[in-house]
Amino acid sequence: MTTADIATPSDHAARAHALVDAHNSTLRGTAMPVGVLTPLTLPGDPTAGELVVRGAVLGARYVSENPSQFSGRQVRLLLENDQQTAHVEHMSRSAAGGMAKLVLLDEVSAVVGQWHLRTTPVVADLAERLGVPTFIENGHNTVTTGRKQLFRTYFSIADRAPLMAGFAESRGWKRVAVIAADTVFGQSLADTVIEVFLDTIPGLEVFRADFEQDGVTDLDAPLSEAADFAPDVLINAGVVRTNYMVVESARRCGLLPKIPMMACFPFPMRSTDYWKLAGDAGAGVTWPATRFSPDWPGLTPIGRWFAETHRTEFGSYPADNALNAFTDITVLAQAAALAGSSSRSSLHAALESGSFRTWRGQVRFGPSTGTGHHNSPEIALMHYQNVGDSVDKAVVVWPPEQATGEFRHPSLTNTP
What's the rounded mean pLDDT across residues 406-410? 93
CA distance 32 to 337: 11
Which pLDDT value is given to residue 415? Answer: 52
Tell me the pLDDT tens digit for each residue of 43-55: 999 999 999 999 9
Whether residue 1 has pLDDT greater than 50:
no
For residue 297, name the pLDDT band (cuts at 50, 70, 90).
confident
Q: Does residue 45 contact residue 7 with C-beta atoms inside 8 Å?
A: no
- Identity at 245, one-letter amino acid code: M
Average pLDDT along the chain: 92
Q: For Cα atoms 13, 15, 19, give the angle at the middle one, nearest 5 degrees.
A: 115
Residue 15, φ and ψ in degrees, nearest 5: -65, -40
What residues have CB less than 8 Å from 403, skipping those under 6 apart? 395, 396, 397
Q: CB under 8 Å, gap of 24 or more: what pairs does 337-344 form?
A: 337/69, 337/70, 337/71, 337/73, 340/71, 342/32, 342/33, 342/73, 342/109, 343/109, 344/109, 344/110, 344/131, 344/132, 344/133
Reported pTM: 0.89
What's the rounded mean pLDDT across residues 345-349? 97
Tell me the pLDDT tens digit for each residue of 156-195: 999 999 999 999 999 999 999 999 999 999 999 999 999 9
Whether residue 7 has pLDDT greater than 60:
no
Lowest mean pLDDT across 243-257, 293-307, 356-370: 356-370
Whether residue 368 has pLDDT greater than 60:
no
Whether residue 289 has pLDDT greater than 70:
yes
What's the rounded mean pLDDT across residues 18-40? 97
For residue 314, name the pLDDT band (cuts at 50, 70, 90).
very high
For residue 391, name the pLDDT band (cuts at 50, 70, 90).
confident
Tell me the pLDDT tens digit for each residue of 181-231: 999 999 999 999 999 999 999 999 999 999 999 889 999 999 999 999 999
The three-class DSSP label of residue 370 is coil
CA 320 to chain centroid: 5
Q: For Cα atoms 320, 415, 263, give the angle at the middle one, nearest 5 degrees.
A: 35
Which pLDDT value is given to residue 3? Answer: 34
Which pLDDT value is given to residue 6? Answer: 37
Which pLDDT value is given to residue 10? Answer: 64
Whether residue 119 has pLDDT greater than 90:
yes
What's the rounded mean pLDDT across residues 254-267? 94
What's the rounded mean pLDDT across residues 380-391? 92
Which pLDDT value is given to residue 94? Answer: 97
CA distance 239 to 245: 10
Which pLDDT value is given to residue 286? Answer: 97
Whether residue 17 has pLDDT greater than 90:
yes
Whether residue 416 has pLDDT greater than 90:
no
> What is the chain's percent helix, strand, coil content, to nearest 5?
45, 15, 40
Tell me the pLDDT tens digit for each residue of 234-253: 999 998 889 999 999 999 99
Q: Does residue 227 contact residue 251 with C-beta atoms inside 8 Å?
A: no
Tell me the pLDDT tens digit for each residue of 120-137: 999 999 999 999 999 999
Which pLDDT value is given to residue 5? Answer: 35
Q: Which has the higher per-residue pLDDT, 270 or 35?
A: 35
Give percent of the chain with pLDDT exceeding 70: 95
